[in-house]
């Protein structure tokens, strides 16, 4: 028998993962959507037998998604369970008003009751009898047929007809935000805005005219969406130019660039309604949008309201794309001026704007790597100075070659420590990933360092590496006789503290949550803890990094850079439940991780000890799992 399918609308990763695991253990097939719009789309692709939705959701609230699904012929028979806090009576009211089939408090303690209600609702939905108290059987053939018709545009139109106008505006703004994360050029941005504009109003022909004040230029984009003939198209363009010149009579256009997205065609109907609206960024008008349609008296107060909301959200996206375009032009113009001072391979990246920043520095997002030899004091105390210098030079050569290979900049040596920068002076596609790759290369290179002339401590030879990503001041720092190109800031200090944590967590590489967020798709990470490092008030998530899975590791890969898949899976589940104070269940998972590792997993052992302590000494209500480090 096919598994019943349950679709979960839930934006909390922790709760969604735990509930999905529970439902799958009950024999259900599950899928998860992170917001209401994504969830509605998945209904038509996943074809669920039942939906569970959180009432507080991004983009659409749970009750709004429920109201929509219960209003459609193909989806109204799908049972819906709504999760929320009973402390909010208004939530329950809206949930019941929207047509949810069952309403329950959101907590793992209610999983058993949720399972019970799922069985009851599925039995009712599969029954041929229809009563006022039971849902109708879902017509999946109809649902499949309608799935072919569901697009962003059609869904928005249906929502606009069903839901309140504010929700429609929220949906459009959400799609604009999605657009801003995908496009890279001004032309692509405007093309995407034009496409969404067609969902807001009947824009049969439209133009955006953008002031490029850096060049005293005018950038014009035209979209003849309906295919008006050449005469009507040219007349419309003439009107837009005349209106622009009237509105900005003091703006002297030196150069003009025109892009037509769609050519003229044969459409001969006259334009009956015309509208001009400005685009405003940072309080200044920088562009105008011109819209034409063949419908008489088309721009009603409601359409005007939607247009103003839409364009207010679109303006900063277009302004940002314009700024990036202007920046690229400035960089090209300054390249020749900087060439005599800066190496060819980095001069385009040393500065973004003006030469004034060379001496004063600039704010920049970079990855900072600190590496330090473990037990260096013990090594140096028992090794002659001449041999120590020879050893350090040999060690630095190996480590720095790996840093340079990943386009890092070796900033300085601090005794036995190495500080490196990724993302300055060169801009890297993913500075965080480059830094982690360099760290793994360094860790794998350590066994090749010749230690025969130095006296090693009982623990042998090793190094700790800490990496952070954040905003720093980058530039030439010092005085007139001695300047160093370097970085300073809190992000640098944190990277140094992270290197020190490698000793506490018995691992070779520790990175910050910023590094994890930027590079999680490229490497194997394991969250070690939430800590307050010495000198910092706010906690930071810290992660260990591994080179490969145990079953795929090369023979020469050091054991501390390898992890068992089952160990990491059990550990991650235990960590989520630990954060939820589910001590006993978390203990089972951590014990499973320890067993999968062959009894040799420090982090699992550490959390098992913490659980025993917390069971005896329960944390306060505001506990967030953070520990404070008192040493550097």
Burial of 84: CB neighbours in 10 Å, binned 0-12, 13-18, 19+? buried
Tokens representing 70? 């219960």
Q: Dump pLDDT digits (tens) for 474-497.
A: 877 776 666 667 888 899 999 999
What angle separates helix 583-596 from helix 602-616, to the nearest 10 degrees?
Answer: 160
Helix then strand count (H, E) for the chain reads: 21, 21
Q: Can you tell me the distance from the alpha carbon of 611 to that of 619, in angstroms, rounded to the nearest whole number?
A: 11
Please name the residue that has the structure tokens 């030879």.
461
Q: List the domains of the chain with CATH numbers.
A: 5-150 (3.40.50.2300), 166-327 (3.30.450.40), 354-562 (3.30.70.1230), 564-632 (no CATH)
Q: Can you tell me the distance from the alpha carbon of 567 to that of 593, in angstroms, rounded to the nearest whole number?
A: 4
Q: Can you tell me the distance from the alpha carbon of 386 to that of 394, in angstroms, rounded to the nearest whole number?
A: 13
Where are the extended beta strands (E) located within 489-622? Answer: 509-512, 524-532, 540-546, 548-549, 562-563
What angle separates helix 565-579 from helix 583-596, to the nearest 10 degrees?
Answer: 160
Give the C-alpha distances (Å, rounded to integers) separating 273 from 48, 259, 501. 45, 23, 66
pLDDT, position 153: 63
Query: CA torsion, points 308, 309, 310, 313, in degrees to nearest 10?
Result: 120
**H or E element at residue 188:** helix 186-200
pLDDT, position 574: 95
Does pLDDT of 85 surpass 70? no
Provide mean pLDDT across the span 151-164: 62
Does pLDDT of 177 surpass 80? no
Provide mean pLDDT across the span 143-155: 73
Does pLDDT of 250 surpass 70? yes
Does pLDDT of 331 surpass 60? yes
Per the DSSP assignment, residues forming a β-bridge with 211 are: 218
Q: Dump pLDDT digits (tens) for 428-459.
A: 999 999 999 999 999 999 999 988 888 888 88
Provide mean pLDDT across the span 265-287: 91
Q: pTM for the complete prediction?
A: 0.48
List CB contacts of 394: < 8 A, sequence separation 6 or more.
449, 450
Which of 467, 488, 468 has the alpha carbon at shortest distance from 476?
488
Tokens representing 145? 């047929």
């Amino acid at each position: 028998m096919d598994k019943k399918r349950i679709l979960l609308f839930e934006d909390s990763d922790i709760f969604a993962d735990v509930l999905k695991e529970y439902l799958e253990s009950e024999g259900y097939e599950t899928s998860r959507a992170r917001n209401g719009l994504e969830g509605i789309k998945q209904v038509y692709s996943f074809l669920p037998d039942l939906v569970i939705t959180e009432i507080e959701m991004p983009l659409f609230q749970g009750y709004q998604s429920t109201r929509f699904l219960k209003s459609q012929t193909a989806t109204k028979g799908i049972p819906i369970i709504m999760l929320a806090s009973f402390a909010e009576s208004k939530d329950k009211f809206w949930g019941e008003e929207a047509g949810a089939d069952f309403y329950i408090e959101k907590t793992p303690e209610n999983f058993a009751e949720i399972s019970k209600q799922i069985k009851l609702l599925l039995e009712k939905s599969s029954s041929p009898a229809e009563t006022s108290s039971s849902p109708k059987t879902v017509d999946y053939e109809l649902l499949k047929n309608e799935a072919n018709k569901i697009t962003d545009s059609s869904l928005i139109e249906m929502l606009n007809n069903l839901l309140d106008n504010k929700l429609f505006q929220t949906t459009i703004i959400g799609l604009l935000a999605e657009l801003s994360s995908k496009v890279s050029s001004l032309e692509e941005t405007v093309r995407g805005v034009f496409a969404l504009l067609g969902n807001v109003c009947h824009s049969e022909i439209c133009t955006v005219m953008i002031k490029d004040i850096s060049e005293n230029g005018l950038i014009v984009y035209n979209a003849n969406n309906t295919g008006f003939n050449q005469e009507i198209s040219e007349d419309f363009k003439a009107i837009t130019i005349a209106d622009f010149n009237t509105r900005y009579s003091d703006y002297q256009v030196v150069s003009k660039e025109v892009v037509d997205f769609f050519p003229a065609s044969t459409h001969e109907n006259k334009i009956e309604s015309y509208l001009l609206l400005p685009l405003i960024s940072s309080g200044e008008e920088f562009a105008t949008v011109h819209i034409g349609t063949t419908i008489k008296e088309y721009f009603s107060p409601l359409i005007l309201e939607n247009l103003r909301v839409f364009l207010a959200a679109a303006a900063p996206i277009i302004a940002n794309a314009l700024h990036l375009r202007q920046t690229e032009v400035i960089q090209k113009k300054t390249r020749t001026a900087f060439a005599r001072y800066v190496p060819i391979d980095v001069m385009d990246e040393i500065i973004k704007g003006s030469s004034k920043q060379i001496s004063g520095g600039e704010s920049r997002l970079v990855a900072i790597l600190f590496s330090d030899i473990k037990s260096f004091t013990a090594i140096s105390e028992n090794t002659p100075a001449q041999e120590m210098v020879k050893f350090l030079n040999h060690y630095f050569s190996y480590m720095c070659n790996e840093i340079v290979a990943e386009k890092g900049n070796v900033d300085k040596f601090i005794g036995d420590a190495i500080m490196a920068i990724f993302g300055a002076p060169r801009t890297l596609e993913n500075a965080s990933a480059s830094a982690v790759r360099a760290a793994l290369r360094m860790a794998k290179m350590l066994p090749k360092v010749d230690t025969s002339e130095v006296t090693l401590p009982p623990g042998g030879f090793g190094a700790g590496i800490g990496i952070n990503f954040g905003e720093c001041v980058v530039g030439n720092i010092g005085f007139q006789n001695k300047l160093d190109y370097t970085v300073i800031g809190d992000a640098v200090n944190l990277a140094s503290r992270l290197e020190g944590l490698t000793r506490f967590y018995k691992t070779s590489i520790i990175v910050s949550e910023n590094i994890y967020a930027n590079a999680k798709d490229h490497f194997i990470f394991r969250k070690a803890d939430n800590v307050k490092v010495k000198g910092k008030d706010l906690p930071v998530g810290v992660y260990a990094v591994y080179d490969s899975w145990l079953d795929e590791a090369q023979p020469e890969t050091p054991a501390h850079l390898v992890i068992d898949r089952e160990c990491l899976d059990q550990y991650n589940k235990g960590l989520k439940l630990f954060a939820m104070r589910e001590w006993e269940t978390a203990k089972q998972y951590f014990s499973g991780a320890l067993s999968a590792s062959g009894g040799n997993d420090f982090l699992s052992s550490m959390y098992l000890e913490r659980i025993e302590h917390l069971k005896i000494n329960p944390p306060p209500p505001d506990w967030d799992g953070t520990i404070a480090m008192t040493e550097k």
